[in-house]
Amino acid sequence: MPPSAEAPARSDRVTIVEVGPRDGLQNEKRIIPTEDKLKLIALLADCGFARIEATAFVSPKWTPQMADHADVMRRASRGRGARLSALVPNEQGAVAAIAAGADEIAVFTSASETFSLRNANCSIEDSIRRFVPVLRRASEAGMPVRGYVSCAVDCPYEGPIEPSKAAKVVARLRGLGCAEIALSDTIGRARPDQVAAMVKAALNEAPASLFAGHFHDTGGFALANVAVAWDLGLRVFDSAVGGLGGCPYAPGAAGNLATGALARLFASRKIETGVDLARLGLAEQWVADFVRRDPRQAAASG
């Protein structure tokens, strides 16, 4: 995965944003106890991640797994200096996240109208209007805001998304003042050529330094999609420890790109991640042993 001639000067370093505690756990069927979420975040913070998406300040009615968001954010370890972020749907969520001590907040919209209606219960345009007071609150708190563009390549309801549609949403988020925009293959069906077309369209609206890549691995192409985005200049990528997660509003979206696979790929290319692979292995083992364990099996064996 060599850097291209168009790559930024710091082509020897990448930032991995660990999203397991939020995007990973939100899709777990059983409610994970708060103490176990805190344990997972502590393990990840000790790995050296600079950024961890810790929770989401969303309605427990829609995402019961995140009902303890304030407690998680207030008590979560930052280890060696990790910045903890929270996903928020609106101003109310932003106010709560800021009060709980979040270091960053994230908002989410989509390049697909149908997905926006199913996921956020509003149109793309209405979702962006909701972000205006969120960005204002964040600015007052001196806090950066990330904007997610879900279904930037493919949608479970509409099928392939035209790159121009994703680029249009990118332009709106940049205009609002988002410090970073995560281009997301929400259902993990994108192929490298589709990702390349989408990223190139986005680059017409903003420089590569503004973007992150968020690729699910449902179809097994996540690492190849990372490679394409890297060659186009992206230097921030999301992943979830143990490949946890998926999207509850995207049928067939199995899991995120596994952090271990992503970190080891970059390590093999001599690209610095800042992540301690040995400690990451411990976090991966913890996920395998506990988070994915069927509680009924645990009761039977105990």
Query: How far apart are alpha carbons 138 and 281 in whole angstroms?
Result: 35
pLDDT band per the 50, 70, 90 thresholds, residue 277? very high
Number of independent structural domains in the chain = 1
Quote the pTM value: 0.91
Query: How far apart are alpha carbons 253 and 185 in whole angstroms?
Result: 10
Identify whether 181 is part of a domain: yes
Identify whether 47 is part of a domain: yes
Interval 125-151: pLDDT, tens: 999 999 999 999 999 999 999 999 999
> Annotated catalytic, 247?
yes
Query: How far apart are alpha carbons 295 and 14 in whole angstroms?
Result: 37
Mean per-residue pLDDT of the chain: 90
Q: For helices 113-120 and 124-140, what crossing angle results, to 10°?
A: 60
Identify whether 218 is part of a domain: yes
Identify whether 2 is part of a domain: no
Structural domain harbouring 40: 15-301
Identify whether 251 is part of a domain: yes
Catalytic residue among 47, 151, 178, 247: 247
Identify whether 199 is part of a domain: yes
CATH code of the domain containing 59 = 3.20.20.70
Identify whether 135 is part of a domain: yes
Identify whether 8 is part of a domain: no
